[in-house]
């Protein structure tokens, strides 16, 4: 049995902001979905199934909101699924949608991910107090900062590498009209002088809290042939999970991430990611995760990720641009953040990334992770249809 | 729809469903069920090629509640795994699709639900339109009662028939050691509209798991696999005023697409938490008197939210495993008044 | 040993909802004692209005005023109203098709008893005295003897949402919907055992029967092997700081003054680190490998913090696998 090749023929995202007070939850989701349909020059009637993802329902205070969103998503009379795999959910959702096409269960699938964090408060939603448990003493950044320190200790990286990432991603965001943060007056000095919140993580090295959504239209060979713009082809996709806490867990370079990447590369026939992948959209909510993921994903050998970052290779004009969109550091509607990575990777190989286009990008990696660095989802997309 | 690859349910396990489960965490509730289904199919923890689960943060009262359930799975080395914020029956659907792609030959599907953790009637109001309906806090029985009254007004049922539905399910549950309400259960006082307490499901805590396998792997694991001949799900708009509540149009549509009407079924496990919903579903799914409906006792006998739909698939498959059914329909529902529906057709080989 | 523990868990938040154009018009209308519907693609008037057509998914924006009177399409007596439902005394849930609308709205009907309610009965809106722009601006429906004024509302000229909203001064663009849910949290047997030991100022993990490693805090299963754990084994009290951060920003609801050190601590005998605060040493002197021990305070469930033991630092190689 052969799988149907999967093509991304439509991509849309909202304007992201701390609070999108101009729209309802439905209106937010629609803004992304309509842009994706318009990009594909398709209508609601062309969609055979909808797969939606988001992180915890407490953010909006609506249990399983996809039920009430059925009209807005054009899903009435159609199959509608809801995925939740913590922070990786945007990526997982796209993969669930891609499988429907690959298995030839559906021909054209709309996939959407969103978060409207301003309906509550992200920190409240993330850290509802649970009885008996020792409260997390440190907030979200405090959860990750010790792992950053462990990375620095393990690799001997200079303390300034994280600020280089933040400076790069925020400058990239200036080229992305949809990004939440547009810090026009940013300088490296400002980043390096920003307050040290969770030493070794500075304020400018942390992600914002955003309202936003992302959507894609996925289809098979037939749909791709009819598409008005070049599609992005899915060459590989995988999810990997490991437990939250366990003896032997490597928080700095989780095995689930390495295994997930290895599976994706195997599917895509990639043997040397550093040379064969032109651009990567990685889920980097705190700046130091860029060098950490560069190692975890095989772009650099262990202990060398920070050198790649420090060399400028991951800049927009470097030879391995990372997060040309501005990344999670510039836009973070949690449930959608993973899909934004997948979508930005697809935009790059379609040549439709506008001001943040990487010239000649033919193969791109989209990456998402979540939970206690335990849930991973990734896909590799290319400008050419996969063999076979 | 023609399935490109043969996939079957080859194993099923569930907890005894109970009104409360304060002595165990979700992980502790799930662990024996996982162990049982893996033992039955000869899989080691973490060995299944794909794992998918269904549960709800709102039901548990905690964000990311599904992450701790993973502790019971043995996810090491890391596993290919996903989660739906839906009844576990939709996790089964996702796993079925994964097997159809040919990526792997086995999948573990599980669901866990502690309906007793919160005030379930209040919790489920949070599923409703957050602007115009949720602020009124109508509970699931209130909404099901509006549906039942519409059915009575249409002349499609009466209270005698509803009481008979309740009695039949709980009588069937006598033979189901996992059920919560078994045997004679008084119809009791009116709870909402025409519905008496006996027309309503119990509040149940429970977990369930199934193993799916493809082709020859399925035959090796199970003497008589329950082959999935079709699987489809559809959704209606949520607004109660936008629908004909006496019909479950998305259930009928899902059944059509799953091929349920292509040949008669001998057994059906349908997910009808309220008696009147069984009447509606029997019509929508064209289940005549010759079909054995809910030999397990259905959701009226045990209704662990987020689990009860998966249990219907497991129960239908188990009937096929035991040679008690040749072709069975399994159904799961979600949302108020049968808003979303999943239908599967399962078959055994041979007589 | 005491049995499994439970505790109340409250999930409560005043959610702030932005409305978008259609819900904004509808709820502003209610504040002004006007009921607005929206015209769908097939010509039907939907009340309550939806932003998108349930049939075609197209955007709907053509608002239509309907009457505050209507007909019950189905009902359900609610003998025991629950907190926050529209009326405190027994009432009927009703779906009401307002005159001029083609779909029905869910709300409460104030009636003396179930015998006074039937499908097809005529009802009218009873407006709330204080209206803010919310579905509860309709206090409830009440029985009404008038005949249906067929077509009357349809004779009203449909109008665009824009012009109509301008008729309302100060349109409602957002609402606050407080929601509180009460749960009983049950951490389960393993955590209850752990907590019982903590009450005696002992930290007790559980050893996996398969891999023999010690999980702390235990959760009833070895997460890597997927098997139940029952063999209790005390760890610590001393341990090693494996990594940490210095917290300079006050977390929500945290009573601790900043700066302080939040650390991962591998207790002696445990195969994974737990977390805690380090005190009794200046923040800038805390380091990876620092040896610490718990400090307990009366009445607290968990150690208040960990302090240096004065032992020599642990060598990196002894804890690098626990990072």
Kindly list the residues from chain B whose CB atom is less than 8 angstroms away from the CB atom of residue C184.
Answer: 22, 116-118
Q: Which of C20, C26, C235 to mutate to test the interface with A (most CBs of A within 10 A)?
A: C20
Q: Is the previous residue joined to C39 through a cis bond, with omega within 30 degrees of 0? A: no
Residue A1 in contact with partner chain B when CB distance is under 8 A: yes
The beta strand positions in C51-151, using DSSP E, are 62-66, 69-78, 91-98, 104-109, 122-127, 138-143
Q: Which residues of B touch C87 (CB under 8 A)?
A: none
Q: Phi/psi zone of residue A27: left (φ > 0), alpha (ψ -120 to 50 degrees), beta?
A: alpha
Q: Does A145 touch chain C (CB under 8 A)?
A: yes
Q: How far is CA B94 from CA A235, B52, B66, B108, B143, in A?
A: 20, 7, 16, 11, 29
The answer to whether A287 and A293 have CB atoms below 8 angstroms apart is no
CB-nearest to A68 from B79, B101, B128 is B128
CB contact under 8 A, B78 and A64: no
Look at chain A and count its residues: 388
Q: Which of A64, A138, B330, A61 is nearest to C249 (CA)?
A: A138
Put simply, the chain A residues between 298 and 357 with a CB less than 8 A from any chain C CB are none
Q: Within 13 Å, how many C-alpha atoms sit on residue A172's CB side? A: 28
For residues C19 and C177, give the distance between their C-alpha atoms in angstroms, rounded to a whole number. 12
Q: Chains with 3 or more CB pairs closer than 8 angstroms to C?
A: A, B
Read off the CATH number of the domain in which A32 is found: 3.40.47.10
User: Do the Cβ atoms of A105 and B70 come within 8 Å?
Assistant: no
Torsion of CA B94, B96, B99, B100, to 10 degrees: -100
Residue of B nearest to A263 (CA): B80
CA–CA min distance C279, chain A (Å):
13
Q: Quick check: B76 and A57 CB within 8 A?
A: no
**A350: which residues sit within 8 A by CB, 6+ positions away?**
A8, A11, A229, A230, A231, A232, A383
Strand partners, C123: C70, C143
Residue B28, CA atoms < 13 Å, CB-side half-sphere: 18
From CA B279, how far away is CA B297, in angstroms rounded?
15
Number of structural domains chain A divides into: 1
Nearest residue on chain C to B21, alpha-carbon basis: C186
Residue of C nearest to A69 (CA): C52
Query: Residues 6 or more apart from A181 whose CB is under 8 A from it?
Result: A170, A173, A208, A326, A329, A330, A331
Average pLDDT of each block of 10 consecutive residues along chain C (323 residues)? 83 96 96 96 96 96 96 98 97 98 98 98 98 98 78 42 60 95 95 95 96 93 94 96 93 79 96 94 97 94 96 94 85
Chain C residues within an 8 Å CB radius of B240: 95, 104, 106
Number of B/C CB contacts below 8 angstroms equals: 199
Q: Identify all chain C residues contacting B75, using CB atoms and an 8 Å cutoff.
A: 223-224, 226
Q: Same domain, yes or no, for B17 and B36?
A: yes
| pLDDT, mean of residues B121-148 | 98
Please check whether residues B239 and B308 belong to one and the same domain. yes
Q: Using alpha carbons, select from A336, A42, A37 the residue that is nearest to residue A178.
A: A336
Closest Cα in chain B to C173: B131
Nearest CA in chain C to B194: C76
Interface probe for A, chosen from B110, B235, B248 (most Cβ of A below 10 Å), is: B235
Residue to mutate among C187, C226, C230, with most B CBs inside 10 A, is C226
Asked if residue B124 is part of any domain, the answer here is no
Q: Which residues in B lie closer than 8 A to residue A263 (C-beta atoms)?
A: 80
Residue B147: list chain C partners with CB under 8 A.
74
Q: Which chains touch A (3 or more CB pairs under 8 A)?
A: B, C
Decide if A132 and C249 are in contact by the 8 Å CB cutoff.
Answer: no
Strands C35-39 and C62-66: antiparallel
Q: Per-residue b/e over C99-124, b at no fewer than 16 CB within 10 Å? A: bbbbbbbbbbbbbeebeebebebbbb
Residues B100 and B187 in one domain: no
Question: Which pLDDT belongs to residue B3?
Answer: 54
Q: Decide if A200 touches C, using CB distance below 8 A.
A: yes
Chain B residues whose beta carbon lies within 8 Å of the beta carbon of residue C93:
138, 142-143, 145-146, 192-193
CATH topology of domain C236-323: OB fold (Dihydrolipoamide Acetyltransferase, E2P) (2.40.50)
Q: Give per-residue pLDDT as tens, B178-225.
A: 999 999 999 999 999 999 999 999 999 999 999 999 999 999 999 999
Q: Is C289 in CB contact (< 8 Å) with chain A?
A: no
Cα–Cα distance, A60 to A72 (Å, whole number): 17
| Per-window interface: C 52-81 vs A, CB < 8 A | 52-59
Instruction: Name which of C57, C106, C199, C260 to mutate to probe chain A: the one with the most chain A Cβ atoms within 10 A of its Cβ.
Output: C57
Question: What's the sign of the alpha-carbon dihedral C280, C283, C287, C288?
Answer: positive
Per-residue pLDDT of chain A in tens (388 residues, 90 and over written 9): 589 999 999 999 999 999 999 999 999 999 999 999 999 999 999 999 999 999 999 999 999 999 999 999 999 999 999 999 999 999 999 999 999 999 999 999 999 999 999 999 887 887 777 888 877 667 778 889 999 999 999 999 999 999 999 999 999 999 999 999 999 999 999 999 999 999 999 999 999 999 999 999 999 999 999 999 999 999 999 999 999 999 889 999 999 999 999 999 999 999 999 999 999 999 999 999 999 999 999 999 999 999 999 999 999 999 999 999 999 999 999 999 999 999 999 999 999 999 999 999 999 999 999 988 999 999 999 999 998 5
Cα gap B38→B20, rounded to integer Å = 26
User: Residue A57: what pLDDT?
Assistant: 96
In angstroms, the CA B199 to CA B317 distance is 26
Are the beta carbons of A57 and B85 separated by less than 8 Å? yes
Q: Cα separation of A320 and A351, whole Å?
A: 16
* 3-state DSSP assignment of residue A57: helix
Give the separation between CA A303 and CA A295, rounded to whole angstroms: 7
Q: Of the candidates C114, C198, C7, A262, which has an alpha carbon nearest to the alpha carbon of residue B22?
A: C7
Q: Tell me, yes or no, whether B2 lies in a domain.
A: no
Question: Is there a single domain that holds both residue B110 and residue B147?
Answer: no
Pairwise CB contact (< 8 Å): B76 & A242: yes
pLDDT tens-place string over residues B42-85 = 999 999 999 999 999 999 999 999 998 898 999 999 999 999 99
- C-alpha A85/C-alpha A83 separation (Å) is 7
Question: Distance between CA atoms of B110 and B112, rounded to whole angstroms?
Answer: 7
Reduced to 3 states (helix: H, G, I; strand: E, B; else coil), residue C190 is helix
- Give the contacts of B98 (CB within 8 A, at least 6 positions apart): A99, A103, B50, B52, B80, B104, B107
User: Whats the size of chain C, residue-wise?
Assistant: 323
Task: Report pTM.
Answer: 0.97
What gap in Å lies between CA B200 and CA C31, rounded to an integer?
37
Mark whether B39 and B114 lie in a shared domain: yes
* Beta pairing partners, C36: C65
Considering only alpha carbons, which residue of chain B is nearest residue A378? B80
- Looking at residue A183, what is its pLDDT? 97
pLDDT of residue B202: 98
Instruction: Assess A154–C contact: CB distance below 8 Å, yes or no.
Output: yes
Domain that holds residue A23: 7-121+209-226
Q: What is the CATH number of the domain that holds B59?
A: 3.40.47.10
What's the total number of domains in chain B?
2
From B310's Cα to the closest Cα of chain C, the distance in A is: 22
Is residue A375 within 8 A of residue A239, CB to CB? The reply is: yes
Helices (H), chain C: 20-31, 152-155, 161-167, 189-199, 316-319
Q: What is the DSSP string of B122-141?
A: HHGGGGS-TTTTGGG---HH
DSSP annotation of C271 reads S
Answer left, alpha or beta for residue A375, where phi above 0 means left and psi between -120 and 50 means alpha.
beta
Per-residue pLDDT tens for B242-252? 999 999 999 99
Print the domain residue range for B73: 7-119+203-221
Measured CA to CA, the distance from residue B305 to residue B88 in angstroms comes to 10
Domain boundaries, chain C: 15-178, 187-235, 236-323
Contacts with A71 from chain C: Cβ below 8 Å: 50-54, 57
When pLDDT is averaged across residues B220-231 and rounded to a whole number, the result is 98
Window 15-54 of A: residues touching B by CB (8 A cutoff) are 24-25
Nearest residue, CB atoms, B25 vs list C47, C220, C227: C220
Residue count (chain B): 351
Hey, which bits of chain A come out as E strands?
A: 7-13, 49-53, 80-83, 108-116, 196-199, 201-202, 211-219, 232-241, 279-281, 363-370, 375-382
Q: How far apart are CA A212 and CA A334, in angstroms?
A: 9
Q: Any CB–CB contact under 8 A between A93 and chain B?
A: no
Residue B187 lies in a domain: yes
What are the tens digits of pLDDT across the range B162-180?
999 999 999 999 999 999 9
What is the maximum alpha-carbon separation in chain A?
58
Q: Is the same domain home to B239 and B217?
A: no
Give the model's pLDDT for residue C254. 67
Best residue in A6, A48, A67 to probe B by mutation, most B CBs within 10 Å?
A: A67
Closest chain C CA to residue A68: C50
The answer to whether the CB atoms of B136 and C48 lie below 8 A apart is: no
Average pLDDT of chain B is 97
What are the chain A neighbours of C244 within 8 Å (beta carbons)? 146, 149
- Provide, as residue numbers in chain C, all residues whose Cβ is less than 8 Å from the Cβ of A123: 252
- Contact residues on chain B for C103, CB-CB shorter than 8 A: 239, 241-242
């Amino acid at each position: 049995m052969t799988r149907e090749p999967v093509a991304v023929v439509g991509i849309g995202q909202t304007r992201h902001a701390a609070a999108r007070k101009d729209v309802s939850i439905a209106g937010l989701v629609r803004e992304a979905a309509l842009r994706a349909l318009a990009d594909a020059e398709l209508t609601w009637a062309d969609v055979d199934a909808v797969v939606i993802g988001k992180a915890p329902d407490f953010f909006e205070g609506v249990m399983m909101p996809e039920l009430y969103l059925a009209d807005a998503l054009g899903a009435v009379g159609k199959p509608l699924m809801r995925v939740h795999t913590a922070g990786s959910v945007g990526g997982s959702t796209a993969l669930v949608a891609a499988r429907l096409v690959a298995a030839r269960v559906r021909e054209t699938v709309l996939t959407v991910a969103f978060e409207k964090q301003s309906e509550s408060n992200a920190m409240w939603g993330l850290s509802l107090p649970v009885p008996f448990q020792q409260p997390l003493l440190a907030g979200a950044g405090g959860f990750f900062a010790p792992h950053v320190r462990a990375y620095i200790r393990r690799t001997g990286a200079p303390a300034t590498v994280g600020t280089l990432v933040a400076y790069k991603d925020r400058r990239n965001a200036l080229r992305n009209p949809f990004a939440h943060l547009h810090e026009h007056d940013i300088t490296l000095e400002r980043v390096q002088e920003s307050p040290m919140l969770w030493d070794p993580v500075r304020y400018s090295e942390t992600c914002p809290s955003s309202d936003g959504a992302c959507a894609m239209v996925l289809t098979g060979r037939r749909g791709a042939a009819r598409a008005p713009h070049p599609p992005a082809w899915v060459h590989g996709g995988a999810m990997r999970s490991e437990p939250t806490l366990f003896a032997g867990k490597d928080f700095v370079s989780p095995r689930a991430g390495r295994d997930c990447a290895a599976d994706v590369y195997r599917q895509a026939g990639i043997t040397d990611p550093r040379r064969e992948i032109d651009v990567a959209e990685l889920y980097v909510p705190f700046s130091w995760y860029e060098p950490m993921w560069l190692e975890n994903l095989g772009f650099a050998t262990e202990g060398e990720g920070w050198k790649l970052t420090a060399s400028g290779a991951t800049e927009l004009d470097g030879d391995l641009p990372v997060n040309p969109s501005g990344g999670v550091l510039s836009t973070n509607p949690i449930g959608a953040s993973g899909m934004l990575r997948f979508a930005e990777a697809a935009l790059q190989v379609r040549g439709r990334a506008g001001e943040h286009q990487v010239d000649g990008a033919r193969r791109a990696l989209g990456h998402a992770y979540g939970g206690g660095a335990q849930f991973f989802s990734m896909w590799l997309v290319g400008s050419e249809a996969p063999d076979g | 729809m023609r399935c490109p690859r043969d996939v079957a349910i080859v194993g099923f396990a569930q907890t005894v469903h109970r009104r409360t489960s304060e002595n165990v965490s979700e992980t502790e509730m799930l662990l024996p069920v996982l162990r049982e289904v893996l033992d039955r199919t000869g899989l080691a923890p973490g060995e299944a090629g794909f794992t998918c689960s269904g549960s709800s943060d709102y039901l548990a009262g905690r964000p990311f509640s599904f992450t701790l359930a993973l502790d019971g799975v043995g996810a090491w080395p890391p596993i290919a795994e996903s989660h739906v914020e839906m009844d576990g029956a939709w996790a089964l659907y996702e796993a079925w699709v994964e097997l159809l792609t040919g990526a792997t030959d086995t999948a573990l599907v599980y669901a866990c639900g502690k309906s007793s953790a919160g005030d379930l009637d209040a919790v489920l109001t949070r599923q409703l339109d957050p602007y115009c309906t949720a602020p009124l806090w109508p509970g699931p029985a209130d909404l099901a009662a509006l549906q039942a009254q519409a059915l009575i007004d249409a002349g499609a049922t009466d209270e005698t028939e509803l009481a008979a539905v309740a009695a039949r399910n709980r009588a069937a549950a006598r033979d189901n050691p996992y059920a919560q309400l078994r045997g004679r259960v008084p119809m009791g006082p009116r709870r909402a509209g025409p519905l008496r307490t006996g027309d309503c499901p119990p509040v149940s805590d429970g977990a369930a798991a199934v193993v799916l396998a493809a082709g020859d792997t399925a035959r090796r694991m199970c003497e008589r696999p329950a082959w999935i001949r079709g699987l489809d799900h559809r959704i209606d708009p949520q607004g109660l005023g936008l629908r004909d509540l006496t019909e479950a149009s998305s259930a009928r549509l899902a059944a059509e697409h799953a091929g349920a009407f292509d040949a008669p079924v001998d057994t059906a496990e349908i997910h009808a938490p309220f008696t009147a919903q069984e009447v509606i579903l029997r019509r929508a799914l064209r289940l005549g008197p010759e079909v054995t409906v809910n030999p397990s006792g259905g959701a009226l006998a045990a209704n662990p939210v987020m689990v009860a739909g998966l249990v219907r698939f497991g129960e239908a498959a188990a009937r096929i495993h035991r040679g008690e059914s040749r072709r069975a329909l399994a159904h799961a529902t979600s949302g108020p008044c049968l808003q979303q529906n999943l239908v599967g057709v399962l078959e055994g080989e041979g007589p | 040993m005491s049995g499994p523990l439970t505790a109340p868990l409250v999930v409560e938040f005043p959610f702030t909802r932005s409305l978008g154009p259609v819900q904004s018009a509808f709820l502003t209308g209610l504040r002004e004692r006007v009921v607005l519907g929206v015209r769908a693609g097939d010509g039907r008037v939907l009340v309550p209005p939806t932003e998108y057509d349930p049939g075609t998914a197209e955007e709907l924006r053509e608002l239509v005023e309907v009457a505050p009177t209507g007909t019950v399409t189905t009902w359900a007596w609610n003998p025991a109203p629950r907190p926050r439902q529209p009326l405190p005394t027994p009432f009927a849930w009703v779906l009401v098709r307002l005159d001029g609308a083609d779909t029905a709205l869910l709300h409460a009907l104030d009636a003396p008893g179930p015998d006074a309610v039937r499908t097809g009965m005529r009802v009218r809106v009873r407006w709330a005295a204080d209206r803010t722009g919310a579905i509860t601006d309709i206090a409830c429906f009440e029985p009404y003897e008038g005949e249906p004024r067929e077509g009357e509302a349809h004779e009203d000229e449909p109008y665009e949402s824009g012009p109509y909203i301008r008729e309302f001064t100060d349109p409602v663009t957002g609402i606050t919907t407080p929601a509180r849910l009460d749960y009983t949290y049950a951490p389960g047997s393993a955590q209850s055992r752990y907590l019982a030991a903590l009450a005696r100022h002992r930290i007790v993990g559980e050893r996996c029967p398969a891999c023999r490693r010690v999980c702390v805090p235990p959760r009833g299963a070895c997460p890597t092997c997927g098997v139940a754990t029952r063999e209790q084994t005390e760890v610590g009290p001393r341990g090693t700081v494996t990594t940490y951060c210095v917290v300079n920003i006050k977390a929500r609801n945290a009573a601790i003054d900043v700066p302080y050190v939040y650390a991962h601590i591998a207790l002696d005998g445990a195969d994974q680190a737990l977390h805690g605060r380090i005190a009794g040493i200046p923040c800038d002197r805390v380091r990876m490998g620092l040896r610490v021990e718990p400090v307990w305070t009366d009445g607290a469930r968990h150690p208040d913090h960990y302090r240096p033991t004065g032992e020599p630092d642990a060598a990196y190689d002894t804890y690098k696998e626990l990072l």
